[in-house]
Amino acid sequence: MPIATRAFAATAADAPLSPYSFDRRDPGPDDVAIEIKFCGVCHSDLHVAKNDLGNTRYPVVPGHEMAGVVTAVGANVTKFRAGDRVGVGCMVDSCRTCSACREGEEQYCVPGFTQTYGWPDPKGAEVGQAITQGGYSNRITVDQNYVLRIPDSLPLDAAAPLLCAGITTYSPLKHWKIGPGSKVAVIGLGGLGHMAVKLAAAMGAEVTVLSTSDRKKADAERMGAKHFLINSDKTAMQAAAEKFDLIINTVSATHEIASHVQLLARDGTMVMLGLTTEGLPVYALGLLWRRRAVAGSLIGGIRETQEMLDFCAEHGIASDIEVIAPDQINEAYARMERSDVRYRFVIDMSRFDKTA
């Protein structure tokens, strides 16, 4: 039987999110049914809800940072059983046959992976769902190959944002081989940035945070940063020139980056993680003079995401969170737009009965 599900959904770009009921599919042979306990609130959720990219299909239930407990499994499921602590991130399927999928890099699936919400859902036909629906809900059904195991030492609420913010920052740190002796700068100490600081520091890097003010300096140092740089301080910026092997840029709004390129050492890379909707000028001279690069990185594949969760458990890393009730989501969105969150909102689904 279809699984009755309660949620908060966006119904139009200019409308607040509101209570929404729909059906999840009953677990098939390869599926895992999950009771969602907590779901992180990502800035990309806000972009989709407001149709900033121009391709949102309504109604849509955002949320791709889910932590919960398995309630049932299909006959072919061997990886999970009822009662397991699990997570679901930004993808719920992929083609599984392209070169990226075969190499465990499903996030770069050539036809495109199936996003957790707002994406055509071939498996949703049986319950009348044309698109996938995400984690601002109390239930989800996912193929076992796209479900992650959350280690027992990680609290479910603080682990939820690891399924996006954690892997989005872990993946480039691993790809660019950050370790002891590396010098890493993080632009922006928000939902992504605070995870980048924690992870890079745990990997042994010397971490510097670049920000527009010093109001988060104490937090940055608590998370493992050794230095804090105000990017409007020209003298300090000049002193930091050619210092960093890697710059993790987490800012999701239009901003100036050309001067930040000068902070890269020879062969250094600035990795763009923020979802900006306008172009950011970069000048060739600053790149070619030191063989620098500006690159992008998405999330990680399922294998790497599990590796990240295990790394976080080993090093005692989780997100700094503010837990909210489902009906506080619109207030949370407004505060996110003001950068008024330290450092990730997480929805507590157990508070549905009290609020919706």
Does residue 51 carry a pLDDT above 70? yes
| Pairwise pLDDT comparison (121 vs 69), residue with the higher score | 69
Yes or no: say if 159 and 165 are a contact pair by the CB < 8 Å rule.
no
Query: What's the average model confidence in pLDDT over 62-91?
Result: 97
Does residue 278 carry a pLDDT above 80? no
Picking from 288, 265, 155, 162, the residue whose alpha carbon sits closest to that of residue 206 is: 265
Give the list of residues 6+ apart from residue 89 with CB closer than 8 angstroms, or none: 64, 65, 66, 116, 148, 163, 164, 167, 299, 305
pLDDT for 167 equals 98
Does residue 96 carry a pLDDT above 90? yes
Please give the Cα distance from 32 to 26 (Å, whole number).
9
pLDDT for 354 equals 61
Query: What's the average model confidence in pLDDT over 107-125?
Result: 92
Query: What's the average model confidence in pLDDT over 125-143?
Result: 92
> CA dist 84 to 119, 254, 313, Å?
27, 41, 16
What count of other Cβ atoms lies within 10 Å of the Cβ of residue 5? 19
pLDDT for 319 equals 97
Yes or no: say if 286 and 258 are a contact pair by the CB < 8 Å rule.
yes
The strands making up 227-230's β-sheet, listed across from edge to edge, are 227-230, 206-211, 183-187, 244-249, 264-272, 293-296
**What DSSP character marks residue 353?**
H
How many residues does this entry show for the chain? 356
Does residue 196 carry a pLDDT above 90? yes
Q: Is the peptide bond before 343 cis (omega within 30 degrees of 0)?
A: yes
Does residue 135 carry a pLDDT above 90? yes
Does residue 250 carry a pLDDT above 50? yes
- Enter the tokens of residue 277: 């909707």
Residue % of the chain over a pLDDT of 90: 84
**Position 276 confidence tier, pLDDT thresholds 50, 70, 90:** confident
Residue % of the chain over a pLDDT of 70: 99
What count of other Cβ atoms lies within 10 Å of the Cβ of residue 218? 10
**Position 48 confidence tier, pLDDT thresholds 50, 70, 90:** very high
Tell me the three state secondary structure of residue 200. helix
Query: What's the average model confidence in pLDDT over 210-215?
Result: 90
pLDDT for 356 equals 47
Please give the Cα distance from 323 to 84 (Å, whole number).
22
Mean pLDDT of the chain: 94
pLDDT for 117 equals 97
